[in-house]
Amino acid sequence: MITRRDLLKVAGVAAGAVARDAGTEDRAMPGLSNTVVGPAGSLASAEMQSAPIAWLALTADEADLLTAIVARLIPSDANGPGAVEAGAVVYIDRGLAGALSSSREAYRRGLAALERYARTSRGAPFRELSATDRDSLLIDVETGAATGSGAGFDGSSAAFFAMLRAHTWQGTFGDPFYGGNRNFIGWDLLGYPGVRATVTADEQRLGVVPAPVRRSAYDSEMFNKATASARPGPRGHGHTA
């Protein structure tokens, strides 16, 4: 069984590889060499975890609001850390500064509308609402009930929510190369064993739980890092992996 300490060591190695690659050409998502990953490439160091984040696309206020939202989508609870701890907001921010830049305006308008909706419907900023009221409000946004509220959602509030939820999932459960899934929190939450080049016969036996591999797919030579370009790809997200 891998310990938390071992996990963090592995994360440090993986992040180191990512940070080195981030310094070259256009391969990396923007911001991978910033304070979140850290110049030393260690996701594990406490000072990096607590260091202020230099937002690349979001304003500090937007990032704060987004943090409060994703904390309700995948909360930290008895199952383990959630989307905030996994760095989902960092993922979204780095994405909006690069491969997801076409969604930047949708976030700006959507977050502003959600905040207006919180004030008009619940009488307070989203971040000051109780957990129950936050969840209730997010359900209204998710289901489209907030659309006709006059808060200023573009089209249906459900479309904004769907985008936000998809990016939160990506930032929590995607490859750490893209800035989220910090310390492989998302993979641990799912019980995903990680990317591996080979699977032994023993590991394929029924009932065997393979030891988790906790490193980015892009640390394997068999994965071409060029596919992780920030340029828009066939799916419009700039990556095909």
Partner 1 sequence: MVLLWAAAVSLPAQNLQPLTVTSPTIRAGETIPADHTADGRNISPALRWSGAPPSTREFAIICDDPDVPMPQPFVHWVLYQIPGTAMGVPESPPIDPAAPMPAEISGAVHGLSGFRRPIYRGPAPPPGKPHHYHFKVYAIDAVLDLRPGLTKAELLDAIKSHVVGEGELVAVYERKPAGLR
Shortest distance, CB of residue 78 to partner 1, whole angstroms? 12
- SS3 state of residue 80: strand
Shortest distance, CB of residue 150 to partner 1, whole angstroms? 5
Shortest distance, CB of residue 214 to partner 1, whole angstroms? 31
Shortest distance, CB of residue 136 to partner 1, whole angstroms? 5
CA distance 144 to 222: 43
Q: Is residue 112 close enough to count as binding partner 1 by CB under 8 A?
A: no
Q: Is residue 139 close enough to count as binding partner 1 by CB under 8 A?
A: yes
In 3D space, the residue among 151, 85, 86 whose CA is nearest the CA of residue 117 turns out to be 151
Q: What single-letter amino acid sits at 152? A: G
Q: Is residue 79 close enough to count as binding partner 1 by CB under 8 A?
A: no
Shortest distance, CB of residue 186 to partner 1, whole angstroms? 23
Q: Which stretch binds partner 1 (CB under 8 A): 87-95, 140-148, 200-208, 231-239?
A: 140-148
- The contact pattern for partner 1, residues 17-36, with x = CB under 8 A and - = no contact, is --------------------
Q: Which residues touch 118 (CB under 8 Å, ≥6 apart)?
A: 124, 125, 126, 129, 137
Phi, psi (rounded to 5 degrees) for 77: -150, -155
- List Cβ<8 Å contacts ≥24 apart for 84-88: 85/182, 85/183, 85/185, 86/171, 86/172, 86/180, 86/181, 86/182, 86/183, 86/185, 86/186, 87/36, 87/171, 87/179, 87/180, 87/181, 87/182, 88/167, 88/168, 88/170, 88/171, 88/172, 88/180
Nearer to partner 1, 131 or 197 (CB): 131
State which of residues 3, 24, 132, 198 lies at the interface with partner 1 (CB under 8 A).
132
Q: Which stretch binds partner 1 (CB under 8 A): 89-97, 106-114, 131-139, 207-215?
A: 131-139
CA distance 219 to 223: 8
Q: Is residue 224 close enough to count as binding partner 1 by CB under 8 A?
A: no
Q: Is residue 135 close enough to count as binding partner 1 by CB under 8 A?
A: yes
Q: Which stretch binds partner 1 (CB under 8 A): 37-45, 132-140, 197-205, 222-230?
A: 132-140
Q: Is residue 59 close enough to count as binding partner 1 by CB under 8 A?
A: no
Question: Binding residues for partner 1, per CB under 8 A?
Answer: 120-122, 132-133, 135-137, 139-140, 143-150
